[in-house]
Amino acid sequence: MKPENDFSRAFINLANMGRIDWRSVILTYLLVKFLSFLFTLTSAIVVTSPIFSEHRLFHIPVADRTPIFRVVDAAAYIFGFWLACKKILRRPFLSLISTDLTFDIRRCLRGAALYLAANAISFMAISLFTSMRAGVWVIAPRHFEWPHHRDQIVIAMVNLFVIPFAAFAEELFFRAWLTQTIGRYIRSTIVVVALVAVIFAAFHTQYDLRMKTLIFVDSLGFSALSLRDQRLELVIGVHSMMNVCVALQLLFFTGPLPHAQIPATPFDFWSLLILKCVLPIALMYGVLQKTRGWFVPTDARLTSSGNLQPGHL
Protein backbone atom coordinates (compact mmCIF):
# COMPACT_ATOMS: atom_id res chain seq x y z
CA MET A 1 0.00 0.00 0.00
CA LYS A 2 1.36 3.43 -0.89
CA PRO A 3 2.23 5.78 1.97
CA GLU A 4 -0.28 8.53 2.71
CA ASN A 5 2.27 11.28 2.06
CA ASP A 6 2.94 10.04 -1.47
CA PHE A 7 3.55 12.93 -3.89
CA SER A 8 0.25 12.27 -5.63
CA ARG A 9 -1.59 13.04 -2.38
CA ALA A 10 0.58 15.82 -0.93
CA PHE A 11 -1.11 18.58 -2.91
CA ILE A 12 -4.59 17.14 -2.36
CA ASN A 13 -4.04 16.88 1.40
CA LEU A 14 -3.55 20.64 1.66
CA ALA A 15 -7.32 20.75 2.11
CA ASN A 16 -6.70 19.50 5.67
CA MET A 17 -5.34 22.94 6.56
CA GLY A 18 -8.89 24.29 6.73
CA ARG A 19 -12.51 23.33 7.00
CA ILE A 20 -13.44 20.29 4.93
CA ASP A 21 -17.12 19.76 5.79
CA TRP A 22 -19.73 19.73 3.03
CA ARG A 23 -21.27 23.04 4.15
CA SER A 24 -17.97 24.82 3.54
CA VAL A 25 -17.74 23.24 0.09
CA ILE A 26 -21.22 24.42 -0.90
CA LEU A 27 -20.71 27.92 0.54
CA THR A 28 -17.39 28.28 -1.31
CA TYR A 29 -18.95 27.26 -4.61
CA LEU A 30 -21.92 29.58 -4.15
CA LEU A 31 -19.67 32.49 -3.16
CA VAL A 32 -17.43 32.10 -6.21
CA LYS A 33 -20.38 31.74 -8.59
CA PHE A 34 -22.19 34.70 -7.03
CA LEU A 35 -19.14 36.94 -7.38
CA SER A 36 -18.68 35.76 -10.97
CA PHE A 37 -22.28 36.71 -11.74
CA LEU A 38 -21.99 40.03 -9.88
CA PHE A 39 -18.71 41.05 -11.52
CA THR A 40 -19.91 40.10 -15.01
CA LEU A 41 -23.25 41.86 -14.57
CA THR A 42 -21.55 45.00 -13.30
CA SER A 43 -19.09 45.08 -16.19
CA ALA A 44 -21.94 44.53 -18.68
CA ILE A 45 -23.87 47.46 -17.19
CA VAL A 46 -20.79 49.67 -17.32
CA VAL A 47 -19.79 48.95 -20.93
CA THR A 48 -23.38 49.36 -22.17
CA SER A 49 -24.09 52.52 -20.21
CA PRO A 50 -24.53 55.76 -22.19
CA ILE A 51 -21.26 57.11 -20.79
CA PHE A 52 -19.35 54.39 -22.63
CA SER A 53 -21.63 53.34 -25.48
CA GLU A 54 -22.20 56.89 -26.74
CA HIS A 55 -18.70 58.22 -26.20
CA ARG A 56 -16.40 57.93 -29.19
CA LEU A 57 -13.30 57.39 -27.05
CA PHE A 58 -14.71 54.81 -24.62
CA HIS A 59 -17.17 53.05 -26.91
CA ILE A 60 -16.51 49.32 -27.08
CA PRO A 61 -18.08 47.35 -29.96
CA VAL A 62 -20.16 44.33 -29.01
CA ALA A 63 -17.67 41.93 -30.65
CA ASP A 64 -14.82 43.36 -28.55
CA ARG A 65 -16.51 42.98 -25.17
CA THR A 66 -15.84 39.27 -24.73
CA PRO A 67 -12.22 39.74 -23.51
CA ILE A 68 -13.47 42.24 -20.93
CA PHE A 69 -16.03 39.80 -19.59
CA ARG A 70 -13.42 37.02 -19.52
CA VAL A 71 -10.88 38.97 -17.49
CA VAL A 72 -13.59 40.25 -15.14
CA ASP A 73 -14.87 36.70 -14.64
CA ALA A 74 -11.32 35.47 -13.95
CA ALA A 75 -10.84 38.25 -11.40
CA ALA A 76 -14.10 37.22 -9.72
CA TYR A 77 -12.94 33.60 -9.41
CA ILE A 78 -9.55 34.56 -7.99
CA PHE A 79 -11.03 37.06 -5.53
CA GLY A 80 -13.79 34.61 -4.65
CA PHE A 81 -11.36 31.87 -3.65
CA TRP A 82 -9.23 34.35 -1.71
CA LEU A 83 -12.31 35.47 0.20
CA ALA A 84 -13.53 31.90 0.68
CA CYS A 85 -10.18 30.81 2.10
CA LYS A 86 -10.25 33.73 4.52
CA LYS A 87 -13.88 33.60 5.67
CA ILE A 88 -15.20 30.09 4.96
CA LEU A 89 -12.43 27.52 4.58
CA ARG A 90 -10.18 29.15 7.20
CA ARG A 91 -6.99 28.25 5.39
CA PRO A 92 -4.19 30.14 3.62
CA PHE A 93 -5.07 31.14 0.07
CA LEU A 94 -1.63 29.90 -1.04
CA SER A 95 -2.60 26.39 0.09
CA LEU A 96 -4.48 26.32 -3.22
CA ILE A 97 -1.22 27.06 -5.03
CA SER A 98 1.60 24.94 -3.58
CA THR A 99 2.64 22.66 -0.76
CA ASP A 100 5.20 25.17 0.49
CA LEU A 101 2.58 27.98 0.54
CA THR A 102 4.38 30.19 -1.97
CA PHE A 103 3.71 31.48 -5.48
CA ASP A 104 6.62 31.37 -7.93
CA ILE A 105 5.99 33.36 -11.13
CA ARG A 106 9.17 31.88 -12.61
CA ARG A 107 7.53 28.47 -12.43
CA CYS A 108 4.70 29.79 -14.62
CA LEU A 109 7.21 31.02 -17.19
CA ARG A 110 9.01 27.67 -17.17
CA GLY A 111 5.72 25.89 -17.74
CA ALA A 112 4.99 28.16 -20.70
CA ALA A 113 8.45 27.56 -22.17
CA LEU A 114 8.15 23.81 -21.60
CA TYR A 115 4.83 23.62 -23.42
CA LEU A 116 6.07 25.81 -26.26
CA ALA A 117 8.90 23.35 -26.94
CA ALA A 118 6.66 20.30 -26.56
CA ASN A 119 3.99 21.85 -28.79
CA ALA A 120 6.57 22.54 -31.52
CA ILE A 121 7.40 18.83 -31.60
CA SER A 122 3.69 17.99 -31.61
CA PHE A 123 3.10 20.48 -34.45
CA MET A 124 5.79 18.83 -36.57
CA ALA A 125 4.40 15.37 -35.81
CA ILE A 126 0.87 16.45 -36.83
CA SER A 127 2.23 18.04 -40.01
CA LEU A 128 4.07 14.83 -40.88
CA PHE A 129 0.97 12.72 -40.25
CA THR A 130 -1.23 15.09 -42.29
CA SER A 131 1.29 15.07 -45.15
CA MET A 132 1.31 11.28 -45.20
CA ARG A 133 -2.49 11.26 -45.36
CA ALA A 134 -2.63 13.90 -48.13
CA GLY A 135 0.27 12.57 -50.17
CA VAL A 136 1.84 16.03 -50.29
CA TRP A 137 3.78 18.08 -47.75
CA VAL A 138 1.51 20.42 -45.81
CA ILE A 139 1.75 22.38 -42.58
CA ALA A 140 -0.98 21.33 -40.19
CA PRO A 141 -3.62 22.24 -39.43
CA ARG A 142 -3.84 24.83 -42.24
CA HIS A 143 -1.62 27.02 -44.40
CA PHE A 144 -0.37 30.36 -43.13
CA GLU A 145 -2.58 33.26 -44.18
CA TRP A 146 -2.35 36.85 -42.96
CA PRO A 147 -5.59 38.13 -41.33
CA HIS A 148 -7.82 40.04 -43.71
CA HIS A 149 -8.91 42.66 -41.17
CA ARG A 150 -6.81 44.65 -38.71
CA ASP A 151 -9.55 44.26 -36.09
CA GLN A 152 -8.80 40.53 -35.96
CA ILE A 153 -5.24 41.25 -34.87
CA VAL A 154 -6.33 43.80 -32.27
CA ILE A 155 -8.87 41.41 -30.72
CA ALA A 156 -6.32 38.59 -30.74
CA MET A 157 -3.74 40.76 -28.96
CA VAL A 158 -6.28 41.68 -26.29
CA ASN A 159 -7.14 38.00 -25.87
CA LEU A 160 -3.46 37.18 -25.42
CA PHE A 161 -3.42 39.55 -22.45
CA VAL A 162 -6.55 37.95 -20.98
CA ILE A 163 -5.47 34.30 -21.43
CA PRO A 164 -3.07 34.05 -18.42
CA PHE A 165 -5.71 35.40 -16.03
CA ALA A 166 -8.37 33.04 -17.40
CA ALA A 167 -5.98 30.08 -17.17
CA PHE A 168 -5.07 31.01 -13.57
CA ALA A 169 -8.75 31.15 -12.61
CA GLU A 170 -9.57 27.82 -14.27
CA GLU A 171 -6.60 26.06 -12.68
CA LEU A 172 -7.48 27.54 -9.31
CA PHE A 173 -10.99 26.14 -9.62
CA PHE A 174 -10.33 22.74 -11.21
CA ARG A 175 -6.77 21.62 -10.45
CA ALA A 176 -6.67 23.23 -6.99
CA TRP A 177 -9.95 23.60 -5.13
CA LEU A 178 -12.04 20.97 -6.94
CA THR A 179 -9.23 18.40 -6.94
CA GLN A 180 -8.51 18.94 -3.25
CA THR A 181 -12.22 18.87 -2.37
CA ILE A 182 -13.05 15.67 -4.25
CA GLY A 183 -9.81 14.14 -2.95
CA ARG A 184 -11.08 14.46 0.63
CA TYR A 185 -13.96 12.12 -0.16
CA ILE A 186 -12.34 9.78 -2.70
CA ARG A 187 -9.00 8.19 -1.83
CA SER A 188 -8.10 7.06 -5.35
CA THR A 189 -6.11 9.81 -7.03
CA ILE A 190 -6.83 8.35 -10.46
CA VAL A 191 -10.59 8.55 -9.87
CA VAL A 192 -10.25 12.12 -8.59
CA VAL A 193 -8.28 13.19 -11.67
CA ALA A 194 -10.80 11.47 -13.99
CA LEU A 195 -13.79 13.15 -12.30
CA VAL A 196 -12.13 16.57 -12.51
CA ALA A 197 -11.40 15.94 -16.21
CA VAL A 198 -15.05 15.07 -16.90
CA ILE A 199 -16.25 18.23 -15.13
CA PHE A 200 -13.58 20.33 -16.87
CA ALA A 201 -14.70 19.06 -20.29
CA ALA A 202 -18.37 19.61 -19.45
CA PHE A 203 -17.54 23.15 -18.28
CA HIS A 204 -16.56 24.08 -21.86
CA THR A 205 -20.12 24.02 -23.15
CA GLN A 206 -19.27 25.80 -26.42
CA TYR A 207 -17.57 22.73 -27.91
CA ASP A 208 -18.86 19.52 -29.47
CA LEU A 209 -18.19 16.01 -28.18
CA ARG A 210 -14.95 15.51 -30.13
CA MET A 211 -13.47 18.73 -28.85
CA LYS A 212 -14.60 17.86 -25.32
CA THR A 213 -12.67 14.60 -25.67
CA LEU A 214 -9.51 16.57 -26.42
CA ILE A 215 -10.20 18.84 -23.45
CA PHE A 216 -10.75 15.79 -21.24
CA VAL A 217 -7.32 14.43 -22.17
CA ASP A 218 -5.73 17.85 -21.67
CA SER A 219 -7.24 17.97 -18.19
CA LEU A 220 -5.76 14.57 -17.34
CA GLY A 221 -2.38 15.95 -18.38
CA PHE A 222 -2.80 19.16 -16.38
CA SER A 223 -3.66 17.17 -13.27
CA ALA A 224 -0.71 14.82 -13.78
CA LEU A 225 1.68 17.78 -14.02
CA SER A 226 0.27 19.68 -11.04
CA LEU A 227 0.17 16.64 -8.76
CA ARG A 228 3.66 15.61 -9.81
CA ASP A 229 4.90 19.18 -9.23
CA GLN A 230 2.94 19.56 -5.96
CA ARG A 231 2.14 23.10 -7.05
CA LEU A 232 -0.01 24.95 -9.54
CA GLU A 233 2.28 27.48 -11.23
CA LEU A 234 3.79 25.16 -13.82
CA VAL A 235 0.43 24.03 -15.14
CA ILE A 236 -0.83 27.64 -15.17
CA GLY A 237 2.02 28.42 -17.55
CA VAL A 238 1.29 25.30 -19.61
CA HIS A 239 -2.42 26.09 -19.82
CA SER A 240 -1.74 29.72 -20.74
CA MET A 241 0.74 28.89 -23.49
CA MET A 242 -1.59 26.21 -24.88
CA ASN A 243 -4.39 28.76 -25.25
CA VAL A 244 -1.96 31.32 -26.70
CA CYS A 245 -0.88 28.80 -29.36
CA VAL A 246 -4.52 28.04 -30.19
CA ALA A 247 -5.33 31.76 -30.49
CA LEU A 248 -2.38 32.41 -32.80
CA GLN A 249 -3.23 29.33 -34.83
CA LEU A 250 -6.80 30.52 -35.35
CA LEU A 251 -5.48 33.95 -36.33
CA PHE A 252 -2.70 33.06 -38.78
CA PHE A 253 -3.27 29.48 -39.96
CA THR A 254 -6.56 29.76 -41.82
CA GLY A 255 -5.56 29.03 -45.42
CA PRO A 256 -7.09 26.03 -47.26
CA LEU A 257 -5.24 22.73 -47.49
CA PRO A 258 -4.96 20.44 -50.54
CA HIS A 259 -6.15 17.48 -48.51
CA ALA A 260 -9.46 19.16 -47.59
CA GLN A 261 -11.30 16.73 -49.86
CA ILE A 262 -9.97 13.72 -47.93
CA PRO A 263 -12.72 12.62 -45.49
CA ALA A 264 -11.67 12.44 -41.84
CA THR A 265 -11.85 9.01 -40.24
CA PRO A 266 -11.94 7.83 -36.61
CA PHE A 267 -8.29 6.86 -37.08
CA ASP A 268 -7.49 10.48 -37.94
CA PHE A 269 -9.27 11.72 -34.82
CA TRP A 270 -7.52 9.34 -32.43
CA SER A 271 -4.19 10.02 -34.10
CA LEU A 272 -4.78 13.76 -33.65
CA LEU A 273 -5.70 13.21 -30.01
CA ILE A 274 -2.44 11.34 -29.38
CA LEU A 275 -0.24 13.78 -31.28
CA LYS A 276 -1.91 16.99 -30.10
CA CYS A 277 -2.77 16.14 -26.47
CA VAL A 278 -0.95 13.05 -25.24
CA LEU A 279 2.44 13.68 -26.87
CA PRO A 280 3.09 17.18 -25.42
CA ILE A 281 2.02 16.13 -21.93
CA ALA A 282 4.17 12.98 -22.11
CA LEU A 283 7.18 15.02 -23.25
CA MET A 284 6.73 17.59 -20.47
CA TYR A 285 6.20 14.94 -17.82
CA GLY A 286 9.28 13.09 -19.04
CA VAL A 287 11.41 16.26 -18.82
CA LEU A 288 10.22 16.85 -15.26
CA GLN A 289 11.03 13.26 -14.32
CA LYS A 290 14.51 13.38 -15.88
CA THR A 291 15.38 16.77 -14.35
CA ARG A 292 13.77 15.99 -10.96
CA GLY A 293 11.22 18.72 -11.39
CA TRP A 294 13.32 21.14 -13.46
CA PHE A 295 14.79 23.46 -10.87
CA VAL A 296 12.28 22.98 -8.08
CA PRO A 297 13.44 25.29 -5.23
CA THR A 298 15.76 23.34 -2.93
CA ASP A 299 14.47 25.21 0.12
CA ALA A 300 10.83 24.35 -0.59
CA ARG A 301 9.22 23.42 2.69
CA LEU A 302 7.03 20.59 1.49
CA THR A 303 4.00 20.15 3.67
CA SER A 304 3.42 16.45 4.20
CA SER A 305 0.09 15.10 5.37
CA GLY A 306 1.52 14.53 8.81
CA ASN A 307 2.25 18.25 9.24
CA LEU A 308 -1.17 19.47 8.18
CA GLN A 309 -3.58 20.68 10.78
CA PRO A 310 -6.97 18.95 10.75
CA GLY A 311 -9.86 21.00 9.43
CA HIS A 312 -12.63 22.35 11.61
CA LEU A 313 -15.80 20.37 11.18
Q: How far apart are CA 201 and CA 178, in angstroms?
A: 14
pLDDT of residue 268: 85
Band (58; pLDDT cuts 50, 70, 90): low
Most confident of 66-75, 260-269, 286-295: 66-75
Band (277; pLDDT cuts 50, 70, 90): very high
What digits encode the pLDDT tens for the residues 149-172? 766 777 777 788 899 999 999 999
pLDDT of residue 159: 81
| pTM of the predicted protein model | 0.85
Q: How many CB atoms lie within 10 A of CB 88?
A: 19
pLDDT of residue 298: 41
Q: Kindly tell me if the per-residue pLDDT of 112 is higher than 90.
A: yes
DSSP helix, strand, coil percent of the chain (3-state; round to 5): 70, 0, 30
Q: Please classify residue 103 by burial: count the beta carbons closer than 10 Å to its beta carbon, then call 0-12 exposed, 13-18 middle and 19+ buried.
A: middle
Q: How far apart are CA 201 and CA 57, in angstroms?
A: 39
- Give me the mean pLDDT over the 5-29 stretch: 87
Q: Are 167 and 240 in contact (CB under 8 A)?
A: yes
pLDDT of residue 29: 96
Q: Kindly tell me if the per-residue pLDDT of 254 is higher than 80.
A: no
What digits encode the pLDDT tens for the residues 46-55? 877 766 655 5
Q: How far apart are CA 6 and CA 107, in angstroms?
A: 22
Q: Kindly tell me if the per-residue pLDDT of 294 is higher than 90.
A: no
Q: What is the CA radius of gyration of the chain?
A: 21
